[in-house]
A and B are shown apart, each in its own frame.
Chain A
Amino acid sequence: GQNIDQPTEMTATEGAIVQINCTYQTSGFNGLFWYQQHAGEAPTFLSYNVLDGLEEKGRFSSFLSRSKGYSYLLLKELQMKDSASYLCAVRDSNYQLIWGAGTKLIIKP
């Protein structure tokens, strides 16, 4: 079966750095996405990786290793507004997204 694993919850301090990991086992691979979802709101796109390596976008970076079935989202200079759930999703061989359950990130002052 297809499976996306990510930690249920993480806590970090304002101004610090946090890394959210995602491991996947899917039927085929056509890219990996990270989305942010604030409580009670819709998911919004953060990043896309299809080749191995690091993609940097401001305070957020995303890394992919296809051979290991592994990705991480790195958030720097954490702000209180970064408190949200972070969703990892893999596009499979049918070009459909398979979603992880999300990691709830709690930022403390």
Chain B
Amino acid sequence: IAGITQAPTSQILAAGRRMTLRCTQDMRHNAMYWYRQDLGLGLRLIHYSNTAGTTGKGEVPDGYSVSRANTDDFPLTLASAVPSQTSVYFCASSEGLAGGNEQFFGPGTRLTVL
């Protein structure tokens, strides 16, 4: 079934630990995105990738890094987790940036940093 998968579904993490959230899409979309969603706030872009091999910083990139080695995978790494990174993380993809290209979202990862 075509779509986006994320892993893990949820995670409780001790502060200071390193964590990688995985995201894979099978739609051959060029663009991929990582968002965080916090209560009372809109989705905020962390990092994005317009095409394989390129990445860019979004609105809230500090404390996070990404890589885009191929079209399908776009992992998000927290180098040293802090409690303020407790959030729901959504990965998304779109065919392109312009026009009516909608973003398709994965099911999300619920991360708690203690």
Contacts and interface: CB of A to CB of B under 8 A. Distances in A.
B is a partner of A:
yes
Given A31-B100, A95-B97, A42 B108 contact: yes
A43 B90 contact: yes
Nearest to A3: B42
Nearest to A31: B100
Contacts, number: 46
A44 interface: yes
B98 A95 contact: yes
B64 to A, nearest CB: 16
Contacts of A4: 42
Given A96-B58, A102-B42, A42 B106 contact: yes
Interface residues of B, number: 21
A30 B98 CA distance: 8
Contacts of A101: 40-42
A41 B108 CA distance: 8
Given A43-B90, A87-B42, A97 B108 contact: no
B105 interface: yes
Interface residues of A, number: 21
B42 A99 contact: yes
Contacts of A45: 102-104
**Binding site secondary structure of chain B:** loop
Interface in A71-109: 87, 89, 95-102
A87 B42 CA distance: 8
Contacts of A12: none
A63 interface: no
B61 interface: no
Contact of B44 (A31, A43, A95, A99): A99
11 contacts: A41-B108, A42-B107, A45-B104, A50-B99, A89-B43, A97-B43, A98-B42, A99-B43, A101-B40, A101-B41, A101-B42
Interface of B: 35, 40-45, 48, 58, 90, 97-100, 102-108
